[in-house]
Amino acid sequence: MNGVKDYEKKHQKTFCYTISTINIPDSYKIEVPVHIPFEGSIEELSHRIINGFNLPLNVIEELSSELQKFVEQYSIEFYDCQTVDAIESIKNETIEVEDIVKYWEKAFQEETLSFTDNKGPSNDQLFGTAFHKLAHSGPSLDAILHIEYGYAQAVQDIMSRKCRQVTLLTKTQTEEMNYAMDGLNKYSTEDDINALALKHFDDQTLLQGKWNSRLDTLKQEQRTGYREWVMKTVEEMQGVDGLYSPIGNSPISIVTNGFTISNMSLYDMEESFTIHLGSQMKSTHNIRIMSADTLNLLNLTLEENGTVVHHPQRLQTVLELYSQDLKGLVLFIDTNNLDFYSGLAKEFFDICEGSTEFHFDSLQNQLEIIKSDLKVAVENRKCKGPVSNFLSPELQARRNKSKLLQCGDVYITKHSNLASVHLVFHMVIDDSLKSGDINSRHPVILGLRNILKTACSYDITMITIPLFLTHEMTEDMTVPWCQKRAELVLKCVKGFMIESVSLGGSELKTIQFLVPKGISEEVFGILATMVPTIFRVSTPLVFESSEPEIELLTKNKKSTKSKRNSKS
The pLDDT tens digits for 235-255 are: 888 765 544 555 555 565 444
Q: How confident is the model at residue 343 (pLDDT cuts 50, 70, 90)?
A: confident
What value does the CA radius of gyration of the chain take, rounded to a whole number of Å?
A: 37
Q: How far apart are CA 338 and CA 335, in angstroms?
A: 7
pLDDT tens per residue, range 401-455: 666 788 888 999 999 999 889 999 999 988 888 887 888 888 899 999 999 999 9
Name 32's bridge partners.
15
Q: What average pLDDT does the segment 108-137 reach? A: 78
Choice among 19-28, 59-68, 539-548 with the minimum mean pLDDT: 539-548
Q: Are 235 and 133 in contact (CB under 8 A)?
A: no
User: In the predicted model, is pLDDT for residue 516 greater than 50?
Assistant: yes
Q: Cα 492–348–494 angle (5° rounding)?
A: 10
Q: Which CATH class is domain 269-337+404-535?
A: alpha beta
With residues binned 3-state (H G I as helix, E B as strand, rest as coil), the percentages for the chain, rounded to 5, are 55, 15, 30
Q: Are 333 and 428 in contact (CB under 8 A)?
A: yes
Confidence at residue 400, expressed as pLDDT on a 0 to 100 scale: 59
Local structure of 1: helix, strand or coil = coil
Q: How far apart are CA 410 and CA 451, in angstroms?
A: 8
First-to-final CA distance of the chain: 107
Q: Are 471 and 334 in contact (CB under 8 A)?
A: no
Confidence at residue 35, expressed as pLDDT on a 0 to 100 scale: 87
Phi, psi of 47 (to 5 degrees): -65, -35
Choice among 298-312, 448-462, 473-487 with the minimum mean pLDDT: 298-312
Cis amide leading into 56 (omega within 30): no
Domain positions in the chain are 11-115, 124-237, 269-337+404-535
Q: How far apart are CA 132 and CA 104, in angstroms?
A: 43
User: In the predicted model, is pLDDT for residue 546 greater than 60?
Assistant: no
Q: Which helix (H) or strand (E) holds 497?
A: helix 479-503
Neighbours of 415 (CB within 10 A): 23
pTM, entire model = 0.70
Q: Any alpha helices (H) in 303-411, and if so which ranges?
A: 314-319, 343-353, 363-384, 393-401
Q: Cα 163–165–168 angle (5° rounding)?
A: 105
Q: How far apart are CA 490 and CA 488, in angstroms?
A: 6
Q: How far apart are CA 270 and CA 34, in angstroms?
A: 83
**Side chain identity, residue 214:** R
Local structure of 332: helix, strand or coil = strand
Q: How confident is the model at residue 121 (pLDDT cuts 50, 70, 90)?
A: confident
Name 275's bridge partners.
285, 537
Alpha-carbon distances, residue 261 vs 47, 254, 256, 301, 438 (angstroms): 87, 19, 13, 9, 42
Name 28's bridge partners.
19
Q: What average pLDDT does the segment 189-202 reach? A: 89
Q: How confident is the model at residue 2 (pLDDT cuts 50, 70, 90)?
A: very low
Q: Which helix (H) or strand (E) holds 355?
A: none
Q: Are 148 and 252 in contact (CB under 8 A)?
A: no
User: What single-letter DSSP state applies at residue 443?
Assistant: H
User: In the predicted model, is pLDDT for residue 112 greater than 50?
Assistant: yes
Q: List, in order, residues 6 or more apart from 290 with CB less than 8 Å away.
A: 267, 269, 270, 271, 512, 513, 514, 515
Alpha-carbon distances, residue 524 vs 297, 434, 514 (angstroms): 19, 20, 11
Q: Which helix (H) or strand (E) holds 59?
A: none
Confidence at residue 29, expressed as pLDDT on a 0 to 100 scale: 83
